[in-house]
Amino acid sequence: MIPTARRCGLPGFVLALAAYGAFAQAPQPPVADGRNMEPQVSLLLDRLVEELRAGPEDPAPWLEYGETLHAHGLVTEAAECYRTALEFLPAGDVTRLTARYLLAHALRGSDRAGAAEVLEAAVAEHPGYPPSLLFLGELREELGDRPAAEAMYRQALELDPGSPLALFRLGSIELAMGEAREAIALLERSLALAPDAGAVRAALARAWNAAGDRDRGRDVLRAGEGRPDTGLPPIEDPIHFRMTERDISSPRLLERARMAREAGRLEDAEILYRDLTRIRSRDADVLAEFAAVLDQRGRTGAAEPLYRDAVALDPGQALARFGLGVLRAREGNLPAAEYEFRQSLESRPDEPQTHAALGDLLLRQRRFEPALAALERAHQLDPEDGPSRVLAAVALAELGRFEEAWSAVHEAQDLGAEVPEGFVTALRAKHPEPGR
């Protein structure tokens, strides 16, 4: 190099050095330990790393790699990738907003001040995206700067006056700053737009309390009883969705599918389980759970083959056995149903619903003693199951054990279960109702 520089003079030397410097500074992608990851994930990571090494100045694969790492909890490595992507994204490119937003999320758990700085830069460059203002406001609030947070929330609301989240955030901060009346006005608007957002309802109740009207606050909470609770208002935030919807590994996908199922969001659950079965086509648990969702949606024709596949893969798959039992019972094939329920109990002997279903079945077949045994076991395992007490009452009455039948009726009533009036009348005719 030096002889060239002497021939070309100083500028050439500098250029040579610069070229050397650029080569030496090619960013290296962080390499994640993929030994415990699902095969398709570690393969994807390997592919992305190769792409990055081949073209280290292309921001798109840096972003994709970062998001993949982020989805798997490797936030430090993800942050590194987002920073690198930012280095290569030209000024004014809207993808810079995405990269900064994702970077702020990656930093949030460990460095809120750093996350806020990143978002400040994002807002400065792209001031028209309300979710980044709301996110920045949250961070400012968490850093103890309420006035700065308030300013962010107001800006977000100006851009999107119909945002229940912006209204909630601003209302909450007004409440924290002692402006209960202003908070009430904002929170009422938010609740009107997002009536299932329990956090908004709670904040509004608190605001009424702070304003001295506890009764009004209690009314607000009472109005929410029986409603589903979504927690916070919905986030109208494509970048957030991009980040949270990136499920390329089945543990997370399975988690989300199960959460959707537990929350009763069966349509979402069906979509998620369908995706899962592509990754885990021979996982008996996944097949059985998918079948159960379809079953709950009334699509028993689609559910049954999945139950069967699950049992073929794992004869002890208790949920699949239970599901098949229910299907057989509905068809009136009681012996087959009983067989399936008993198979289910072999694997999961302490599942109260299976005992209850078996008891129900045996009751229908007028096999009262074994029905009662199954129902008593269901009660032991789940003392708060009212309907199984009703069935137990019927079995006891059929066995002539009327006092015990009445006890079971009363227990069922205490648990809020409906006891058929006809049965109560018939029981009363056999034996007077004891005093309570």
**Which residues sit at the interface with another protein, rule CB under 8 A?**
32-33, 36-38, 41, 71-76, 79, 106-113, 138, 141-144, 168, 172, 175-176, 198-203, 205-206, 209-210, 214, 217-218, 221, 231-232, 249, 251-252, 254-262, 292, 319, 322, 351-353, 382, 384, 414
CA atoms within 13 A on the CB side of 44: 17
- Minimal distance, residue 232 CB to another protein, in Å: 5
- Minimal distance, residue 178 CB to another protein, in Å: 9
- Minimal distance, residue 67 CB to another protein, in Å: 13
Q: How far apart are CA 406 and CA 415, in angstroms?
A: 14
- Minimal distance, residue 18 CB to another protein, in Å: 33
Nearer to another protein, 343 or 397 (CB): 343
Nearer to another protein, 199 or 334 (CB): 199
Nearer to another protein, 42 or 95 (CB): 42
- Minimal distance, residue 202 CB to another protein, in Å: 4
Q: 2, exposed or middle or buried, with CB in 10 Å at 0-12, 13-18, 19+?
A: exposed
- Minimal distance, residue 259 CB to another protein, in Å: 4
Nearer to another protein, 253 or 371 (CB): 253
Locus of tokens 């592509």: 278
Q: Is residue 420 left, alpha or beta, with left meaning phi > 0 and alpha meaning psi from -120 to 50?
A: beta
- Asked if residue 55 lies in contact with residue 29, where contact means CB atoms within 8 angstroms, the answer is no
Nearer to another protein, 348 or 367 (CB): 348
- Minimal distance, residue 20 CB to another protein, in Å: 32
DSSP label of 232? S
Nearer to another protein, 280 or 402 (CB): 280
Residues in the chain: 436
Nearer to another protein, 340 or 397 (CB): 340
Q: How far apart are CA 384 and CA 253, in angstroms?
A: 32
- Minimal distance, residue 293 CB to another protein, in Å: 11
Q: How far apart are CA 24 and CA 156, in angstroms?
A: 43
Is residue 281 helix, strand or coil?
A: coil
Nearer to another protein, 123 or 319 (CB): 319
Nearer to another protein, 96 or 201 (CB): 201
Q: How far apart are CA 195 and CA 211, in angstroms?
A: 21
Tokens of 2: 């030096």
Q: How far apart are CA 157 and CA 168, in angstroms?
A: 10
Is residue 112 helix, strand or coil?
A: helix
Q: How far apart are CA 336 and CA 309, in angstroms?
A: 17
- Minimal distance, residue 369 CB to another protein, in Å: 26
Q: How far apart are CA 58 and CA 46, in angstroms?
A: 17
Nearer to another protein, 85 or 427 (CB): 85
419: phi then psi, degrees, rounded to nearest 5: -105, 125
Nearer to another protein, 159 or 176 (CB): 176
- Asked if residue 203 lies in contact with residue 216, where contact means CB atoms within 8 angstroms, the answer is no
- Minimal distance, residue 54 CB to another protein, in Å: 25
Q: With CA atoms as reference, report the closest residue to 401 among 428, 431, 371, 365.
A: 431
Tokens of 91: 């000024």
- Minimal distance, residue 371 CB to another protein, in Å: 20
90: phi then psi, degrees, rounded to nearest 5: -70, 155
Tokens of 74: 């490797």
